[in-house]
């Protein structure tokens, strides 16, 4: 039996991971550490709150004393760090908190790992650390050898964290791995991000704000496939290695928006082209050869099925996202989108 600390487990991917991990490893104990920022939602964890192998701990990963105390109590075998400020647009408005949580928080978690017996550490990173690819070069992909070349304060903070993780491996011999995944979608996705925002606005017959001309390309992966990849890397990955995770599912933003409109039976008149994101990355595309060859990982959910499942989840769980969009989030939305 292992004790696994999962940070950021009240967020989108961390929450899905907690559900998946408790199901896949019923013998293990999961301790979720989450500060419950605007993006953390305890209702995401409601289905596992009564599980005797689960503990929730409201804690900031930058709180060194609190984190060290928790390690002393729990004596974890594995730490998986999902906790982050994750939204590119927010990082453009206010970079500071991104540096604090994404870089300082990562260093605190790794210091705790070093201090309590060189605990196995996994860093959940992103393909955004590689910057972007040209739209007219469909032959180009991000491999693990692609140089780090970031565009936004968010991706820079994630890249800074990745470099620190690699430094802790080289300098202290901390047993680390890093996964760099493409865009995820699925249940419990916070409605500030493209897919859930478009679903929520469509259902409320509100304008669908497409940045620029909607031609930017993202490589979408169903969140459960990402969770399975992390589980594999944590248990079977080679220490010190980076693994790219993605399913060769590139789509233009405008095509995603039109697909959601069609699935929900709405009109394309809802589409509103708005001012582009500053420094907007053109295209992300992952080459997942390494994780496939070494660990046998392949995505299991096709986009056509995954997007249907996701839309169904948002239809069946209106309370989850309506509570979000009726609260403080409304101020954010007005700030970002009115007069854009």
Binding residues for ligand NAD, rule: CB under 6 A, are: 7-8, 10-14, 33-37, 39-40, 60-62, 82-86, 101, 105, 124, 126, 158, 181, 183-184, 190
* Beta pairing, strands 250-252 & 217-222: antiparallel
Q: How far is the CB of 236 from ligand NAD (least distance, A)?
A: 20
Contacted entry of ligand TDX, ligand NAD, none for residue 325, CB cut-off 5 to 8 Å set by kind: none
What does R_g of the chain's alpha carbons equal in angstroms? 19
User: Is residue 208 within 8 Å of 270, Cβ to Cβ?
Assistant: yes
Rounded CA separation 274/340 (Å): 6
Cβ neighbours of residue 87 under 8 Å, at least 6 residues apart?
Answer: 39, 154, 190, 192, 193
Of residues 109 and 174, the one with the C-beta less far from ligand NAD: 109
Q: How far is the CB of 128 from ligand TDX (least distance, A)?
A: 5
Q: How far is the CB of 12 from ligand TDX (least distance, A)?
A: 9
Question: Residue 299: which H helix or E strand, with range?
Answer: none
Q: Which two tokens stand for residue 332?
A: 């954010």
Q: Which residues are catalytic?
A: 127-128, 154
User: Is residue 8 within 8 Å of 109, Cβ to Cβ?
Assistant: no
Contacted entry of ligand NAD, ligand TDX, none for residue 288, CB cut-off 5 to 8 Å set by kind: none
Is 221 in a helix, a strand, or coil? strand
Of all residues in this chain, which one has the CB nearest to ligand TDX in the complex?
A: 126
User: Is residue 146 within 8 Å of 284, Cβ to Cβ?
Assistant: no
Contacted entry of ligand NAD, ligand TDX, none for residue 218, CB cut-off 5 to 8 Å set by kind: ligand TDX
Rounded CA separation 262/256 (Å): 10
How many CB atoms lie under 10 A from the CB of residue 193? 18
Q: How far is the CB of 223 from ligand NAD (least distance, A)?
A: 8
Contacted entry of ligand TDX, ligand NAD, none for residue 105, CB cut-off 5 to 8 Å set by kind: ligand NAD
* Cα within 13 Å of Cα(86), Cβ side: 27
Q: How far is the CB of 175 from ligand TDX (least distance, A)?
A: 24
Of residues 124 and 270, the one with the C-beta less far from ligand NAD: 124
Q: How far is the CB of 278 from ligand TDX (least distance, A)?
A: 11
Of residues 183 and 310, the one with the C-beta less far from ligand TDX: 183
Contacted entry of ligand NAD, ligand TDX, none for residue 253, CB cut-off 5 to 8 Å set by kind: ligand TDX
Contacted entry of ligand TDX, ligand NAD, none for residue 88, CB cut-off 5 to 8 Å set by kind: ligand TDX
Of residues 37 and 143, the one with the C-beta less far from ligand NAD: 37
Chain contacts with ligand TDX (rule: CB under 6 A): 86-88, 126, 128, 183, 193-194, 197, 209-211, 216, 218, 253, 277
Of residues 29 and 87, the one with the C-beta less far from ligand NAD: 87
Is 306 in a helix, a strand, or coil? helix
Of residues 33 and 311, the one with the C-beta less far from ligand NAD: 33
Helix extents (H) in the chain: 12-24, 64-74, 88-93, 96-99, 105-115, 153-172, 194-203, 223-236, 253-263, 289-295, 303-316, 318-325, 329-337
């Amino acid at each position: 039996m292992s004790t696994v600390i999962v940070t950021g487990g009240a967020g989108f991917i961390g929450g899905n991971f907690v559900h998946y991990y408790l199901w896949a490893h019923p013998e293990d104990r999961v301790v979720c550490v989450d500060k419950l920022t605007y993006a953390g939602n305890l209702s995401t964890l409601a289905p596992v709150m009564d599980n005797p192998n689960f503990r929730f701990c409201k804690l900031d990963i930058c709180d060194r004393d609190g984190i060290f105390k928790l390690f002393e109590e729990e004596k974890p075998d594995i730490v998986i760090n999902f906790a982050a400020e994750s939204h590119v647009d927010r990082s453009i408005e206010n970079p500071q908190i991104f540096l604090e949580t994404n870089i300082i928080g990562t260093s605190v978690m790794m210091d705790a790992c070093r201090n309590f017996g060189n605990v196995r550490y996994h860093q959940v990173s992103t393909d955004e650390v590689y910057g972007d690819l040209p739209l007219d070069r469909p032959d180009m992909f991000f491999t693990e050898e692609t140089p780090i070349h970031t565009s936004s304060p968010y991706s820079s903070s994630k890249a800074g964290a990745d470099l620190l993780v690699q430094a802790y491996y080289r300098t202290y011999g901390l047993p680390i791995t890093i996964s760099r995944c493409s865009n995820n979608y699925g249940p419990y996705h916070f409605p500030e991000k493209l897919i859930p925002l478009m679903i929520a606005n469509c259902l409320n017959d509100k304008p669908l704000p497409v940045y620029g001309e909607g031609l930017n390309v993202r490589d979408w992966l169903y969140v459960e496939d990402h969770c399975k990849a992390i589980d594999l890397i944590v248990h079977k990955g080679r220490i010190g290695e980076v693994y790219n995770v993605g399913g060769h599912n590139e789509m233009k933003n405008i095509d995603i928006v039109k697909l959601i409109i069609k699935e929900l039976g709405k009109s394309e008149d809802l589409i509103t082209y708005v001012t582009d994101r500053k420094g907007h990355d053109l295209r992300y595309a992952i080459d997942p050869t390494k994780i496939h060859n070494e660990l046998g990982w392949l995505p299991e959910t096709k986009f056509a099925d995954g997007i249907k499942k996701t839309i169904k989840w948002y239809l069946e769980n209106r309370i989850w996202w309506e509570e979000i969009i009726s609260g403080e989030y409304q101020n954010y939305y007005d700030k970002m989108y009115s007069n854009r």
